[in-house]
Structure 1
């Protein structure tokens, strides 16, 4: 068991077999107290040195303890990214309390379900989060404001009674809950993925491949409620670097912050890379300090990877994995430019299998569902043992794997080629049609900026593929032109039945295309 304490001694290291993130931050506060740990992009940036962050974590942990929360309890945070958000999250971890970061962009109904499911005793929010949550939330958890929310207790007022430097006496082990990350809730009921301290430690160890160090400056523009952000945020602090948080992504502001802070690392989703490549001022900013750029969360077209490599200094690593864990693949695109059509090879400590619909392993190189295992695996879905069981697969030795829901195969060099999401697969005339194949073709058209394909009902074929396209600013292709161009390259069952031009594709806050919304749009448009 690892004990959370307030002894100001250098005791923990990223080289240890296991350590708590809160203890690593304590170490940095001792060895480099004046080093900038976290800053944000608010009008007057709120900067926290490691000494400041450590002291604030103590205050938060102490106040949570005096409020009656115990190790194993949960708090929720529903707000935009900020230094205050980060200090609440990290302070709760120091007290052995799990955090449920909730997306302010979700509907009131979905947020209510998440809050109830998390069993949070307190909820910290900003004005956006306060507006999104019902004023009389079930269970009536106490609300604390991270910014100016009329009628709510402010964070500073809430912290006022917390003594500093008191021994918390909290005990946390590797399997204790670190956080509960919720699915977007765009389809079905939102599920809470319980991640342990062991799982987060595995993410920290994996980050060695990203060349993190005490001199790293990591710019994060995706929200802190997303696992995509957190797999870069926590390791950056564990290694003693600096994190710059953006409350909302803006291409011009992002580039200006890169230059101002001399950023060395970042995590972006594919659509953000696309926006930056299209930004007219991209080449006017000095990005020479970059060591590594990371990408995750959604399909990353090979052509876009190639453009990023050509125009943006530093390495580029694509991370394939799930919030649920189970293994990850890393594509070091700058090292393997001939493998940009893949998502890389299994990361150290990750093990994958490819299984059939019936749950048996398929021959090497064959197509099937990807399942994986590693030290970074979720405990389960919070309060959902049935759904947890459905997400698991066990090999003949009884070892546990997590099902990804992705169809793919490994090539002769051990690189994973993803074909599509199983749920996105459509069957037309009895044949499997993979939307991603058609999207790859559409992305090759010189007029197209973005494209998504989904299946729609067909009396003749059962299902047929329909495309939704965003043109480049200079693009003038018509839907008929694009449909003819694609259909001349594919088989009969793959032919598009419609092409719809959109100003933008519907996406969630982390950049994933919402195909359910596209299917609904297609049904409305068809006679």
Structure 2
């Protein structure tokens, strides 16, 4: 009896690899578009052949199975092909942020010991004249590096525990850490989406391919045989135009992207009726913004909460639970969340505590950082391993998780715990505030004190003192802002997280 390698059989199995799934789709639906971008598209047969040429070239160059292959580039079809070709060769993909400093990029390449690094033109210009370890391949000359057309790589056996990718943390609280994720973890991401309709999906990708936020929709779409539309750089109007043109059905956007799309004055003129599933993750998602999306953008809206490191995830079906928009939903099936105090003990039901979680989707550990890996873990009395999320939260009576704040962002003022998200929720309601963030700064009188930053809303006039006084009137006595600063734009990571460390640095520089 031969092995059934059809896509349906692989997807129904206990474990399959993404390269094998793409091979199967190339056999059963060779002409279906797998990847599309502004400059063209690639069907599954062509993608499978291109992946083969990448894998064969890596093997030709002596890149061993298990070695890291780094990519520093904006999203493109070539980027996706290199990523997938590295997997087919049994290598570990290491997508790196081209927005990082040259020193940080070189540091990440060295940290993962990349055998080869692929660069687009912008990344090559950024690193020009600097010593970059390992072999370099420029994507603009990818064609001359590839193995000959029709080349096939030597088959490699991939085990569930083998490394799939290394995702580097943003480094907002220190140097970036390489998060090693296995083929088993990525298979779980694909397999758990059986009901999401990715096989018939046209999925809009408008976040970077080095982000886990992107990969959790990019990988299932290709795994199930859908179409991915890559957007090199996000802008709200361009996104809506592209989604309308491709009749997009699925997307993963971060909250700030939703905010900018919904703020378009002519949003209603775009035909987005093809959408069936919109998801979000990575940053706080305001209840009012969720409600606006539910009212004006067709299709299901689901918010996910979780970590790149894994642990546990929650899912809020906002469409089905419009009364729970202040939550991030209950744990997903097979995911377990517990809340612990500062001493590592579980808190009583209804009380707040630090989130720890376990599930089938957990990182192997931080690359080369055993101590950091151990510090990220919590074990229960039975020895089960959980990942510390670093968030403070509580469950409501229905088991929906309510996030209070990042533990590291908690402000302790005069002995009282102040959660910046509580203050941001009030400040954001002022009509002159388009965007905002609150941080804690040192205070001789109180230990710490909250300070706010806001982006002024165009066309609404109000002074800083007026906005601060209005906000403080809505807050408890211990929560009040000691200062408020106007800012042109909040510093954010590529996936929309506010970089509070940069706000603190800005204050320190101003007072120096």
The TM tier, using the shorter chain, reads over 0.9
Which aligned pairs between 1:36-75 and structure 2 lie closer than 5 A? 36-41=33-38, 44-45=39-40, 47-75=41-69
The answer to whether 1:523 aligns with 2:511 is: no
Deviation, structure 1 residue 163: 5.4
The answer to whether 1:426 aligns with 2:423 is: no
Q: In 1, distance between residues paired with 2:458 and 2:165?
A: 42
Q: In 2, distance between residues paired with 1:525 and 1:137?
A: 35
Q: In 1, distance between residues paired with 2:8 and 2:68?
A: 27
Q: 1:180 aligns with which of 148, 151, 166?
A: 166
Deviation, structure 1 residue 14: 2.0
Are the counterparts in 2 of residues 60 and 162 from structure 1 also a CA contact under 8 Å?
no
Give 3-state SS (helix, strand or coil) of 2:489's partner. Answer: coil
Give 3-state SS (helix, strand or coil) of 2:278's partner. Answer: strand
The answer to whether 1:220 aligns with 2:205 is: yes
Q: In 1, distance between residues paired with 2:490 and 2:130?
A: 34
The 1:469–1:11 alpha-carbon spacing in structure 2 relative to 1, beyond 3 Å, is: closer
Give 3-state SS (helix, strand or coil) of 1:65's partner. Answer: helix
Q: 2:118 aligns with which of 103, 113, 124?
A: 124
Q: In 2, distance between residues paired with 1:8 and 1:414?
A: 41
Q: In 1, distance between residues paired with 2:172 and 2:345?
A: 31
Q: 1:157 aligns with which of 139, 144, 169?
A: 144
Q: In 2, distance between residues paired with 1:204 and 1:436?
A: 33
1:99 is matched with: 93
Q: 2:155 aligns with which of 163, 169, 174?
A: 169
The answer to whether 1:507 aligns with 2:497 is: no
Give 3-state SS (helix, strand or coil) of 1:52's partner. Answer: helix
Q: RMSD in angstroms over aligned alpha carbons?
A: 1.6
Deviation string for 1:250-272 (max 9, x for gaps)?
11111110000000001110000
Are the counterparts in 2 of residues 296 and 320 from structure 1 also a CA contact under 8 Å?
yes
The answer to whether 1:459 aligns with 2:444 is: yes
Deviation, structure 1 residue 457: 1.5
Q: In 2, distance between residues paired with 1:208 and 1:506?
A: 37
2:176 is matched with: 190
Deviation, structure 1 residue 398: 0.5
1:279 is matched with: 264
The answer to whether 1:85 aligns with 2:85 is: no
Q: In 2, distance between residues paired with 1:9 and 1:434?
A: 51
Q: 2:335 aligns with which of 347, 350, 353?
A: 350
Deviation, structure 1 residue 162: 6.8
Deviation string for 1:14-67 (max 9, x for gaps)?
2221111111111111110000000112xx32x110001111111111111111
Are the counterparts in 1 of residues 98 and 123 from structure 2 also a CA contact under 8 Å?
yes
Q: In 2, distance between residues paired with 1:135 and 1:87?
A: 27
Deviation string for 1:205-248 (max 9, x for gaps)?
23235x22322100111000000000010001111100000110
Are the counterparts in 2 of residues 180 and 192 from structure 1 also a CA contact under 8 Å?
yes
The answer to whether 1:445 aligns with 2:442 is: no
Give 3-state SS (helix, strand or coil) of 2:194's partner. Answer: helix
Structure 1 length normalisation: TM-score? 0.94
Which aligned pairs between 1:242-281 and structure 2 lie closer than 5 A? 242-281=227-266
Q: In 2, distance between residues paired with 1:115 and 1:443?
A: 40
Q: 2:294 aligns with which of 306, 309, 313?
A: 309
Are the counterparts in 1 of residues 433 and 454 from structure 2 also a CA contact under 8 Å?
yes
Deviation, structure 1 residue 470: 1.2
Structure 2 length normalisation: TM-score? 0.97
1:151 is matched with: none
Q: 2:314 aligns with which of 329, 348, 351?
A: 329
1:202 is matched with: 188
The 1:11–1:348 alpha-carbon spacing in structure 2 relative to 1, beyond 3 Å, is: closer
Are the counterparts in 2 of residues 71 and 172 from structure 1 also a CA contact under 8 Å?
no
Count residues with an aligned counterpart: 510
Are the counterparts in 1 of residues 54 and 147 from structure 2 also a CA contact under 8 Å?
no
Unaligned runs of 5+ in 2: none
Are the counterparts in 2 of residues 12 and 19 from structure 1 also a CA contact under 8 Å?
no
Q: In 2, distance between residues paired with 1:281 and 1:11?
A: 42
Q: 2:24 aligns with which of 20, 24, 27?
A: 27
Are the counterparts in 2 of residues 108 and 134 from structure 1 also a CA contact under 8 Å?
no
1:374 is matched with: 359
